[in-house]
A and B are shown apart, each in its own frame.
Chain A
Amino acid sequence: MESGTLIYEDRMAKKKAEAKVETSGAAAPPDRMALLTSMLLQRRFEERCAEAYALGRIGGFCHLYIGQEACGTGAISVLRDDDYVITTYRDHGQALARGMSPRAAMAELFGRIDGCARGRGGSMHFFDRNTNFLGGHGIVGGHVPLATGVGFAIKYRGGDQVCLCFMGESVVNTGAFHEALNMAGLWKLPVIYVIENNRYGMGTALERASAIHDIYQRGAAYDMPRGVVDGQDVLAVREKVAEAVHRARTESLPTLLEVRTYRFMGHSMSDAVSGTYRSKAELEEYMKRDPIMVLRMRMQAAGEIDDDGMAKLDADVKAIVQDAWEFADASAEPPVESLYEDVYVDSTT
């Protein structure tokens, strides 16, 4: 447990140090070990989520990020502490990548008082004011105007922060997406809209939902800088997002970035992994490009990690997750007397 906690804190320290050197359009040299550690933590964390779900320890809807870890990890790795992140209900991985404590994350999933939303949000509504993590949001498209509003506030105050807004590819067909990106383009707001194109909106393939299939081209409608990147390659994601962040900081321009990825699990824990809408063969083909494997192989080739190192890292990460589980398990349920708290704040200015 001790070593696990240390590694976690060490990772956070590195992330902060790294963020500070990001000064130009090019990403600072990546700390590849930190990226690998973060992705592995998310993977192991969510494997235990699946286990907890099966045991009935986690209820409701639970959407796993397994297979998509490189998207959030690469993108968030170039942010400063004072930047903002907002996302959908598939939010565990990004929250951890942003620095949310695994203990607070697991406790939230268990519906406990020490959870990141005091047990009021659950899987879909992770929030963390300390890391400017503005939430997991449950209505497809609903959070995209919020991101535009965060960009508006940054510009209003004359700051040089950015807002990173994650969404799945199915969001691009909502009215909220169109309205939000139009205003960001119109007003030149420092928001990076990252579309994690995992090919399926629940069980509906992109080609059956969108009139155009290169969805980054939608940015043309808003005169917005746009691009597409391999979402299984964390370093490529990082590079592209760094360009966009630089553009947002220095020119206050939004970017629409399509990150092509694949979800290795079902849409949520209550859905089949494959079946009516995608074949097992297709799934297996995509799983050959596991984002953690892709980075590990590259690091192994460069002599940055070997099998023993990987095994040690894995053991450390598993210890962190085990600690989170035990913490969540020991945490109390929210007191029933607190039911009516947090509906309103009792304050004015």
Chain B
Amino acid sequence: MPVITFRDALNHAIREEMQRDDRVFLMGEEVAVYQGAYKVSKGLLQEFGEMRIVDTPITELGFAGVGVGSAMVGLRPIIEFMTWNFALLALDQVVNSAAKMLYMSGGQFNIPIVFRGPNGAALQLAAQHSQAWESWLVHIPGLKVVAPGTPYDAKGLLKSAVRDDNPVIVLEGEMLYNTKGEVPSEEYVVPIGEADLKREGDHCSLITWGKSVLVALQAADQLAKEGIRVDLVDLRSLRPMDVAAIVKSVRKTNRAVVLEEGWEVCGVGAQVVDYIQRDCFDDLDAPVLRVTQADVPMPYAKNLERAAKPDVAKTVAAVKRVMYVE
């Protein structure tokens, strides 16, 4: 099976979906002439032309709304935010227009749109450029939210997102773009709403998504050396969430750690813990622990940034705590 980068997996998904359906177009800052701020759209302008690969001014609120308006009358936009940090300016369109249009129009106007871009912290970009926004977006009925952690899932989920007739948020880890993985050359999609068991184990459930999947895999490897077998549930989709997969895993292991990139308070992990306490109360042998970013704006200094981020060591420690081995 060919091994390609996360970036190329996204690029192939966009190309294939644009070839498949001429209503699909890509719009955002630097997507065309510059070939993408992170080169996800490399080569697409040359293949599809400027009507379908559209450079915008720096105007997030505006072009997010342009996407929604075009979707109201039959187009299928992919709106790229250079980062989700900038998308905060566009949140009114994502929440008040895209997510609610179908409902408040009594079912008359669905919005088939994809909002995508890098989410979460990279390296030393400081407070305004280092944020994981999933809990803000998952909160909203009317949106679907996916957060792939591997090239295979990135391609398959983005293709599903483009074909979905609802607004879908695709959260891409900035630090994932260069990571590599096996991606089949033949056609496939990953259904929205299905978790994936990335490692099978019976000692402790480790539940995560997006970029943190990489951290979890490394933590699982390290724990395996110590004889601790982790059941690694990669949620992949955050709304709808595969609650059945969470419950199945926790009933098997009786212990759980939820790992996420964002802040603790009202994070997506809090919702996961709620599902667990509702459906697995009698199955638990230990309180569920969460590993999150420190409750501070992201600092710049290398050592402080390291201290603020969830990492392998913190994840390993949390698993051992719920195992009562340390």
Residues of A within 8 A of B (CB): 84, 86, 115-121, 125, 127-129, 134-135, 137-139, 142-157, 175-176, 179-180, 182-183, 186, 341-345, 347-349
Contacts and interface: CB of A to CB of B under 8 A. Distances in A.
Given A120-B103, A135-B105, A182-B59, A142 B96 contact: yes
B51 A156 contact: yes
Nearest to A130: B108
B112 interface: yes
Given A145-B93, A341-B107, A345-B166, A153 B69 contact: yes
B138 to A, nearest CB: 14
Interface string B262-290: 00000000000000000000000000000
Given A120-B104, A125-B105, A152 B21 contact: no
Given A142-B93, A183-B63, A153 B70 contact: yes
Interface string B59-76: 101111111111111111
Given A120-B106, A147-B69, A152-B69, A182 B165 contact: no
Contact of B56 (A119, A120, A147, A183): A183
A135 B101 CA distance: 9
Given A118-B107, A129-B109, A156-B75, A349 B65 contact: no
B164 A146 contact: no
A117 B105 CA distance: 5
A120 B25 CA distance: 31
Nearest to A115: B106
Interface in B38-71: 51, 56-57, 59, 61-71
A150 B71 CA distance: 8
Nearest to B25: A156
Nearest to B89: A175
A142 B92 contact: yes
Contact of B165 (A127, A157, A183, A349): A349
Contacts of A134: 69, 72-73, 109
A156 B73 CA distance: 11
A152 B70 contact: yes
B322 to A, nearest CB: 35
Given A345-B165, A347-B165, A148 B66 contact: yes
A155 B50 CA distance: 12
- Scoring A115, A186, A342, A344 by chain B CB atoms within 10 A of each residue's CB, the highest score goes to A344
B104 A176 contact: no
Contact of B75 (A117, A153, A344): A153
B62 A344 contact: no
A341 B108 CA distance: 12
B61 A156 contact: no
B70 to A, nearest CB: 4
Given A125-B104, A348-B165, A183 B70 contact: no
Contacts of A150: 69-70, 72-73
B65 A146 contact: yes
From B61, B110, B163, name the one whose CB has the most chain A CB atoms within 10 angstroms. B61
B67 A149 contact: yes
Contacts of B166: 344-345
Contacts of A180: 62, 65-66
Contact of A153 (B74, B96, B104, B142): B74
Given A134-B69, A145-B62, A149-B71, 19 more contacts: A118-B106, A120-B103, A125-B105, A129-B108, A134-B73, A134-B109, A142-B65, A143-B97, A146-B65, A148-B69, A150-B72, A176-B61, A182-B57, A182-B62, A183-B62, A183-B63, A344-B142, A345-B165, A349-B21
